[in-house]
Amino acid sequence: MSGAPVPTTIPVGTDYDVVIGAGVLDRVGDLLGDDVERVLVVHPPTLPELTSRVAAALEAQGYAVHLAEVPDAEAAKTAEVAATLWAQLGRAGFTRTDAVVGVGGGTVTDLAGFVAASWLRGVRVVQVPTTLLGMVDAAVGGKTGINTAEGKNLVGAFHPPAGVLCDVDVLSTLPGADLVAGLAEVVKCGFIADPVILDLVEAAVADDPDRARSAANPHLRELIERAVRVKAEVVAADLRESSLREVLNYGHTFGHAVEQVEQFSWRHGEAVGVGMVYVAELARLTGHLTGPEGDALVARHRSVLESLGLPTTYPAGRWDALLTAMRRDKKSRGSTLRFVVLDGLAEPTRLAGPDVALLQAAYGLVSRHADAPAH
């Protein structure tokens, strides 16, 4: 028997499970459920070995596997790519009892989920995220979508997966910058719900900064599990983002605007890192964070993110473009901009319709000394 730790199973309400462990990639078929005959495996061109493993595991369990290679990164999340996959499903005769499996980062799982949600008004999807960002954020929660020229994730659907399989072993091949970007979403969960996450990150950095930013981080699996538990608890209580689930968007309104202004040349986690500092400053300006404790919490945003190598500033002179992008954000209500801010550590709340002058002032605080994006 192997001495590998037993996989951790985290339920998302009663809908599905997230399985986290080492060497669990071959268990993908166990999450598909009954009656499935055909499986479309959606994958990027950069993961031939992992895709082959997933396909082989499915074929060994008797599934008819159809492979669908899609572009890497945000280029996958377009209506044109989705239409190509719909055509492939149609040619292969996929029925309502068949399934889609997404293998890759968050862009692939977003796309795969949207295609599954829209084919025959909904077929099963199993997500196999291969990036840290995908494991702790994109693949968990049932939010699917594609981008348009007007903004990110503006077209999509809520479609809970049949299961999510997170094999932490695959993170050893993830480029360092991508792993660090994924840590931004982990840190977010620390600020909004589970401060132990911040303690673990700070301890790892103090022990060995380089190791803390890599797959060799001794706390990495626990960080993943804690972040997934935060998201699972929130999602289970609010499947369609009507109220509580908005807290998971901490740092995202400004972060998504940065991504759009930069034409998606910034990694998602890099943009969210700046976005978290932005809303921390906004919380202070609007009286949600006050006194020495508030100042210390704002400073902690910068110190934790910078210790991981994540950007905390953004160049000046781009306010008009950022504000336009934020007004298009899907979390806006009519003309009212909405932000998640903190009243204290792990005390998130909503801020609706703040004065534009305060929004611009917060931008001034994150754009100081920002001569160039920190990547």
Domain 175-367 matching CATH 1.20.1090.10: the answer reads yes
| pLDDT tens readout for residues 300-354 | 999 999 999 999 999 999 999 999 999 987 555 556 899 999 999 999 999 999 9
Predicted confidence at residue 239, as pLDDT, reads 57
76 is in an annotated binding site: yes
Q: Does 102 have pLDDT greater than 50?
A: yes
What is the Cα–Cα distance from 250 to 278, expressed in whole angstroms?
10
3-state secondary structure of 1: coil
Give the number of other Cβ atoms within 10 Å of residue 177's Cβ.
14
Beta strands in 266-353, from DSSP E residues, in sequence order: 338-344, 347-352
232 is in an annotated binding site: no
C-beta of residue 11 within 8 angstroms of C-beta of residue 140: no
143 is in an annotated binding site: yes
Q: Can you state the percent helix, strand and coil of the chain, rounding each to 5? A: 50, 20, 30
Q: Does 374 have pLDDT greater than 60?
A: no
Q: Which residues, in sequence order, are bridge partners of residue 166? A: 20
Torsion, Cα 213 215 221 225, to 10 degrees, reads 60
59 is in an annotated binding site: no
Residues classed as catalytic: 121, 143, 185, 231, 241, 245, 249, 252, 256, 268
C-beta of residue 172 within 8 angstroms of C-beta of residue 279: no
Average pLDDT, the chain: 91
Nearest in space to 188 (alpha carbons), one of 9, 341, 332: 341
Q: Which residues, in sequence order, are bridge partners of residue 129? A: 104
3-state secondary structure of 236: helix
Rg (CA), the chain: 20
- 375 vs 367, residue with greater confidence: 367
Domain boundaries, the chain: 8-172, 175-367
* Burial degree of 57 (CB within 10 A; 0-12, 13-18, 19+): middle
77 is in an annotated binding site: yes
Confidence class for position 1, pLDDT limits 50, 70, 90 = very low
Nearest in space to 275 (alpha carbons), one of 266, 263, 286, 288: 266
355 is in an annotated binding site: no
Q: Does 138 have pLDDT greater than 90?
A: no
246 is in an annotated binding site: no
* Burial degree of 299 (CB within 10 A; 0-12, 13-18, 19+): exposed
330 is in an annotated binding site: no
What is the Cα–Cα distance from 335 to 333, expressed in whole angstroms?
6
Confidence class for position 195, pLDDT limits 50, 70, 90 = very high
What is the Cα–Cα distance from 114 to 93, expressed in whole angstroms?
18
Confidence class for position 372, pLDDT limits 50, 70, 90 = very low
Give 8-172's CATH code, choosing from 3.40.50.1970, 3.40.50.2300, 3.40.50.720, 1.20.1440.230. 3.40.50.1970
Residue listed under structure tokens 């950007």: 311
What is the Cα–Cα distance from 176 to 214, expressed in whole angstroms?
6
| pLDDT tens readout for residues 9-46 | 999 988 899 999 999 999 999 999 889 999 999 999 99
Average pLDDT over residues 219-227: 96
* Burial degree of 204 (CB within 10 A; 0-12, 13-18, 19+): buried
Give the number of other Cβ atoms within 10 Å of residue 56's Cβ.
12
